[in-house]
Structures are given as C-alpha cells and as structure tokens.
Structure 1
Amino acid sequence: MRNRPAGPRPWAGVCRTLGALLVSALLCACQSPYSALQQLAQQHGRHLETVPGQPFPLVLLAPEQPASKRLRVYLEGDGHAWATPSQPSLDPSPRNLLVARLAINDPTPNAYLARPCQFVTAAGCTTALWTDRRFAQEVVTSLSQALDRLKQRFGNREFELVGYSGGAALAVLLAGQRDDVTQLQTIAGNLDPGLWVRRKGLSPLDGSLDPMVYRTRLKSLPQRHLLGGRDTVITGDIAASFRGTEESSRCNQRIIIPAASHEQGWENAWAHWQSQLIGPCP
C-alpha cells in the first residue's frame, strides 16, 4: 500500500473553511429559543424576565417606561406547536420572534407576553396545552394573572391587547373576561378557531374556549383586525366570521394587507398601523 505524499492536502484549507462554516451554522441552528429572545432583548435594551405564576410562569419583555393610563401588551401566537402534522412539538416556543420584534420596535409603552410553556417550562406543561387546549381556561387565567401583575407594577388602569395568530383568540378571551381591556388589535388572528379547524380539516380543539362566544359582548370595543392577503394559514373569512354580518363600523375595523402572508410582511405593515387611531366609536 502506497503512502500518501507529505505536505498539505490540496483541499485541506477549503475543507477547514467549510467545516468552520458548518459548525457555525449548526451552532446558530441549535441556539435555544430563550437564548435567541434574550439576545434580541439585549440588543435593543429591553429587560427579559420570567413572571411567576401558578401553574405557569410566563416570559415577559417588560415595558421600558410606565404607561400613564393604558399599557399595550403583545400576546404571542401558538409558536412551534407541532413538530410534524401528526406529532406535537416538545417545545412550543416560537422559532420566529416576529411578535417580540413588533413589540421592541414599537415606541408605544408596551410589554411582550409569551404563552404558557413557551421559553420556560413547568410541571403542568403537557403537549395538550399547546395543541387541543391551547385556548383553555387555564391558559387564559395564566395570562390574566400576568396582566394583574403588570397593572400592579406599572400603574396603568387599562390594557390594549395586540394578539398575533392564536394570540388573537386569547386576546379576545381576555377582553371578554376582564373589564380593563379598552382596545383590541389582532394580526393574522385566529378569531374563529372552530371555523379554522373545519376549513383545515383538523380535529376540534377539545378543551379550548371559543372566542366567538364574546363577539356580541365586545361589539362596542374599539378593535382592528389585520389580515394578510397572501395568508394561507388564517384566511380573511376567519376575521369576517368574528366580525359578523354587521354593517361596517369604525369600532371594528378589518384591514387586508395585500402583500402579507402569515409570517411575512407584518413588520412594515405594523410600523404604519401601530399608531393609527381606532374610532371614535359610537
């Protein structure tokens, strides 16, 4: 057997470079969702913390400054609920930090609030909590407890809720169960989960609450629902169903963003709509 010639191999430098790039890519891919959120917060001077609660602690990006009267709170979407179409994820933390970026880039005093079991885990975290029971009462109660803590800490009297995707359903449920939510905005919002599962041919969300129950009660609440014209996950008829057949009202705006899909196009769109007034309502 012949020996290899001495000296460097012709492709050794290239292989080392490619190897280093591959390792770097793998390290980035392996960065935990919490680390990614922490890095994002640090880059923008926001404080990331965990709000204690029973049974679920929640991850929070605290406001940079107190709100004089009303605090805007961004509610995260369903996150990485499913690993495959038939296999629930073991970690529902969002891989796309869209909602956190929307909050960070918003000059309005605001907080970002993750869902139970996103970024941090607890004894009660089971896959049902981010699949069938994603809109269950224990999820709503956990978020409501966090709102109470924010109110005590920052002194605001009211809340404006901004819910993305499945976070929109929870924003409606919170508004329906509390008396201090005075404005509601949703982005690509799943406002009628029952209709959504039927459209998608999915199994019912057993154990979840139905936001449609609160449609009539909230009809005089100032609200705006932004839908993506290219969104194939949450189509425009979902928000139309929640809005009902009432005549167009300044109190309940439904806006189509033609270029937006479910995850793309929202940062530019929200930069415009985040400061636009809703109403005045009758």
Structure 2
Amino acid sequence: MTSRYFTCRRTLSGFHIAGLLTVSALLTACQSPREALQQLAEAHGRQWEVLPGHTFPLFILAPQTAEKMTRLRVYLEGDGHSWATATQPSLDPSPHTLLVPRLAVDDPTPNAYLARPCQFIMATACEPALWTHRRFSQEVVTRLSQALDQLKQRYGNREFELVGYSGGAALALLLAAQRTDVTQVQTLAGNLSPRLWTTMKGLSPLDGSLDPLDYRDRLARLPQRHLVADADPIIPAGLAQRYQQALGSLLSQCIHVSDTSHDKGWEAAWRRWANTPLAHQVPE
C-alpha cells in the first residue's frame, strides 16, 4: 500500500511539474528575442542599451562597472537566426537562444556583450543580405569597430579581448586584423574562415564578405585560442585545423572540447578556459 501511494504521488508530482514546464515554455515562446535578452540582463543586474548614431544601431549589454580598466572583454554574437529555411532568409536575424549573453553575464571579468547589426533592433538600412551573404562584409566590420570605439571612449580601456561565437569568430578576427588595440581573441565553435567553411560545406561563396585569412600576416602575430566542438554539424571540426595550417602561427592554439555541440555545453567549457592565459610569445 505504501509503495502504491508513493508511486501515485510521484506520478501526480510529475504531471504537476510537466504542467509548469509547459507553461514556462509557452511564456518563453511568447517572448520576443529582445524581451528575453532584456529579462536576462535585468536578472543579472546588467544594463542593456542601444548604441545609436550610425546607420545600424547596436544592442549591447554594458559592463557592470564604469571604472576605467586596461582591457575590456567583448563578446560578439553569432550569426543568429539568419535563415528561416534552407533557401529563405529570415526576416529577423536575432538569435533564438541566448548562449552568448549568458556567457557574458556569468563572467566576472569586466565585459560587454555586442550584438550584430539588425539583431534585436531593426533599422531602415537592414536587409537580409546583411545577415546572409554579406554577414562578414566591410560595412558590418566597420560598424562593430565603431562600437568598440564608443566603448573605449566610455570606459577608458586601452585594449580589447574579443570573444567570438560561431560567425562572431570571423568578425572578431577581422576586427583584430583591422585594429591595433585588440590584444587577443578567443572563439567558441567559430567560423574562422568563411571561404574555407563554404568550400567544406559545399555552399555558395559569401559574395561581399571578407575572410580573416586574407589578413594572415597581421593575425599570425595575434595571440588566439579556438575552442572546437567535437560534435558540431554546423562548423566542421576540421575547419579550425585548416585555418591553423593556413595561418602558420605558433600563437594560435586550437582546443577540441568534448561534450559540446554547436550550441550545447559551452557554459561549462568556457568556465574552464575563459581565464586560462594565452601564449603571447613565440616559443624559441
């Protein structure tokens, strides 16, 4: 009798929990990506705002401190929801998961989260080409670079560390190649070379986009670490190896991370590697 009663209690409790989870999922589904990001920021005491004044306003999570710092870590968002189907571009490229903002708000290192143009906030100039084949174009790099200038003016940092996820990795490398104040780059499940990536995936070239390997002389002198998911159907694990071979730099490190996929397992992996020092000198 006791056993049957206990089983019944567990079953009822399971239905109750399942009901709560269903309601929670429905509420989350009703949220827009911007509302979900704002809620995450407020729950962690982070200020969200829009950097204005240019063709593409950018959505950011500002650092928790306004004190001057030597280096500011900036998290760069991935490509987001760039395609609605295999052939139809999305009308809103805002990411549906908040992996990168979660990494930022959980990181005690002074940091800012920087979304891509047209993510979370649309502007008149937004068009699908900016989050499809021109997602790594000079205009996108220039706008992100302007945002870094705005952050630098506000917080007084002399240097940046850029952390790029997925397509944000290519932009982190392009920014580092075009600026003199990016002192190191780390990437997670990163698209390190869009040109190699489209070739490996059998996709059409991203016409209008830049490729970090066209700046290999500059990037070969940049300390960088690339965390690669062992199970990633979007960014092949071999992409990082081909990037490393083309770059030919001892300052570039590639780490294969177990128990990760393209968008799973990175919170635990990043806690391990986030503050592990990078190599800043070429071994003799």
Give 1:258-273 correspondences, 5 Å limit: 258-273=258-273
The Cα of 1:236 is off from its aligned counterpart by: 2.1
What SS does the aligned partner of 2:160 have?
strand
Do structure 1's residue 39 and structure 2's residue 5 form an aligned pair? Answer: no
Aligned to 2:113: 112
Is the 1:191–1:211 contact (alpha carbons within 8 Å) kept by the matching residues of 2? yes
Distance in 2 separating the partners of 1:208 and 1:247: 23
Aligned to 2:61: 61
Q: Which consecutive unaligned segments of at least 5 residues does structure 1 have? A: 1-17
What SS does the aligned partner of 2:163 have?
strand
The Cα of 1:53 is off from its aligned counterpart by: 3.5
Is the 1:215–1:242 contact (alpha carbons within 8 Å) kept by the matching residues of 2? no
Distance in 1 separating the partners of 2:21 and 2:190: 38
Q: 1:277 to 1:67 in 2, by over 3 A?
A: farther
Q: 1:220 to 1:272 in 2, by over 3 A?
A: same
What SS does the aligned partner of 1:49 have?
strand
Is the 1:215–1:243 contact (alpha carbons within 8 Å) kept by the matching residues of 2? no
Q: 1:121 to 1:67 in 2, by over 3 A?
A: same
Aligned to 1:4: none
Is the 1:171–1:184 contact (alpha carbons within 8 Å) kept by the matching residues of 2? yes
The Cα of 1:23 is off from its aligned counterpart by: 7.1
What SS does the aligned partner of 1:38 have?
helix
Aligned to 1:50: 50
The Cα of 1:30 is off from its aligned counterpart by: 2.1
Q: Which consecutive unaligned segments of at least 5 residues does structure 2 have? A: 1-17
Is the 2:46–2:62 contact (alpha carbons within 8 Å) kept by the matching residues of 1? yes
The Cα of 1:190 is off from its aligned counterpart by: 0.2
The Cα of 1:81 is off from its aligned counterpart by: 0.3
Which residue identity lines up with residue 252 of structure 1 in the other structure?
A: S
Which residue identity lines up with residue 139 of structure 1 in the other structure?
A: V
Distance in 1 separating the partners of 2:20 and 2:259: 38
Do structure 1's residue 215 and structure 2's residue 216 form an aligned pair? Answer: yes
What SS does the aligned partner of 1:162 have?
strand
Aligned to 1:137: 138
The TM-score normalised by the length of structure 1 is: 0.89
Distance in 1 separating the partners of 2:23 and 2:106: 31
Aligned to 1:188: 189
Aligned to 1:30: 30
What SS does the aligned partner of 1:83 have?
coil
Distance in 1 separating the partners of 2:21 and 2:163: 39
Distance in 2 separating the partners of 1:85 and 1:76: 21
Distance in 2 separating the partners of 1:197 and 1:158: 32
Distance in 2 separating the partners of 1:41 and 1:252: 33
Aligned to 2:15: none
Is the 1:75–1:168 contact (alpha carbons within 8 Å) kept by the matching residues of 2? yes
Aligned to 2:13: none
Q: Which has the larger radius of gyration?
A: 1
Which structure 1 residue ranges, 4+ long, deviate > 6 Å from structure 2?
18-24
Is the 2:220–2:247 contact (alpha carbons within 8 Å) kept by the matching residues of 1? no
The Cα of 1:245 is off from its aligned counterpart by: 5.6
Q: 1:56 to 1:224 in 2, by over 3 A?
A: same
What SS does the aligned partner of 2:147 have?
helix
When you count helix as a share of all residues, which structure comes out higher? 2
Is the 1:50–1:58 contact (alpha carbons within 8 Å) kept by the matching residues of 2? yes
What SS does the aligned partner of 1:217 have?
helix
Which residue identity lines up with residue 124 of structure 1 in the other structure?
A: A
What SS does the aligned partner of 1:119 have?
coil
Q: 1:165 to 1:70 in 2, by over 3 A?
A: same
Is the 2:213–2:246 contact (alpha carbons within 8 Å) kept by the matching residues of 1? no
Distance in 2 separating the partners of 1:109 and 1:253: 24
Q: 1:24 to 1:136 in 2, by over 3 A?
A: same
Distance in 2 separating the partners of 1:146 and 1:61: 12
Distance in 2 separating the partners of 1:210 and 1:110: 26
The TM-score normalised by the length of structure 2 is: 0.88
Which residue identity lines up with residue 267 of structure 2 in the other structure?
A: E
Distance in 1 separating the partners of 2:20 and 2:64: 39
